[in-house]
Amino acid sequence: MAGRAGVRPLVVFVDDAHLLDGGSATLVHQLALTRAATVLVTVTSGETAPDPVVALWMDGPAERIELGVLRDEAIEEGRGHHRRGPGRPGRLGALPDVHTG
């Protein structure tokens, strides 16, 4: 992955990291630990994550940030930013339906 990124910073996003198998969780942990990539993971509250994922914020380089349910205003603000910024239009359209989980 890093080779394909070239000089651009590599960012790896893993949604529902509590569902990762051991090997995938270890890979994500190693990417963060070695700083080969900036890693952003989500874990649903109340779910048990694999040890390498938990180690990201317990022992390692990550900071754990607890997020609550997104308010509609925050979603609209994100939509406005997305429309002005780069990327594919319409990707945030499903957020109101999934922001509570």
**pLDDT 10s digits, 13-37:** 999 999 999 999 999 999 999 988 8
Please state the pTM of the whole predicted model. Answer: 0.65
Residue 20 shares a structural domain with residue 61: yes
Domain that holds residue 15: 1-67
Q: DSSP for 59-92?
A: TSS-------PPPHHHHHHHHHHHHHSSS-TTTT
Residue 12 shares a structural domain with residue 61: yes
Residue that the structure tokens 């890093």 belong to:
2
* Count of domains for the chain: 2
Residue 20 shares a structural domain with residue 47: yes
**pLDDT value, residue 5:** 62
Residue 92 shares a structural domain with residue 63: no
Residue 95 shares a structural domain with residue 54: no
Residue 45 shares a structural domain with residue 20: yes
